[in-house]
């Protein structure tokens, strides 16, 4: 059986700068490695790496159907904090399942889903 160290999410983006700045400034991720072709990040509270790789796609091609989900303690407090930064964010929503979430989008069209379980 293969042993894995920790999970990583790898996303191809047309421009490393918008996604790198967004995840560091607004979500508290710290850079761990980068060069002209990739940027890797980690967060002190979760054992996951998020890696952006520069794709050959056009800068106008937003990612669709991909979301990075992060469980938070208070989605409303995070939404209040983030909406003051002029970022693209949905209003908080609550699903019948007890999932309360807000969607954030960075400059490359990467969607982040902040989730609080309110069951």
Q: 21-51 pLDDT, tens per residue? A: 999 999 999 999 999 999 999 999 998 999 9
Cβ–Cβ < 8 Å for 67, 103:
yes
- pLDDT in the model for residue 62: 60
- pLDDT in the model for residue 84: 82
Question: From CA 48, how far away is CA 68, in angstroms rounded?
Answer: 11
List the beta strands (DSSP E) in 21-66. 30-34, 38-43, 46-54
How much is the pTM? 0.78
User: Is residue 80 in a domain?
Assistant: yes
Q: Count how many Cα atoms sit within 13 Å of the Cα of residue 74 in the half-sphere of its side chain.
A: 6
Name beta bridge partners: 94.
Answer: 100
Number of domains in the chain: 1
Low-confidence ranges of the chain (pLDDT < 70): 1-3, 56-65
Question: From CA 12, how far away is CA 56, in angstroms rounded?
Answer: 9
User: Is residue 3 in a domain?
Assistant: no
User: Is residue 2 in a domain?
Assistant: no
Domain range for 30: 8-117
The string over 51-88, giving b where at least 16 C-beta atoms fall within 10 Å of a residue's C-beta and e elsewhere, is: bbeebeeeeeebbeeeebebebeebeebbeebeeeeee
Q: At 23, which CATH number? A: 3.10.180.10
User: Is residue 89 in a domain?
Assistant: yes
Cβ–Cβ < 8 Å for 61, 110:
no
- pLDDT in the model for residue 107: 87
């Amino acid at each position: 059986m293969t042993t894995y160290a920790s999970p990583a999410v790898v996303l191809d983006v047309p421009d490393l700068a918008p996604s790198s700045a967004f995840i560091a400034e607004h979500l508290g991720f710290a850079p761990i490695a980068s060069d002209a072709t990739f940027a890797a990040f980690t967060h002190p509270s979760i054992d996951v790496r998020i890696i952006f790789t520069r794709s050959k796609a056009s800068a106008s091609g937003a990612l669709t159907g991909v979301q990075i989900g992060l469980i938070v303690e208070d989605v409303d407090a995070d939404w209040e904090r983030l909406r003051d930064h002029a970022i693209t964010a949905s209003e908080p929503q609550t699903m019948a399942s007890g999932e309360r979430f807000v969607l954030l989008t960075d400059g490359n069209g990467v969607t982040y889903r902040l989730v609080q379980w309110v069951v």
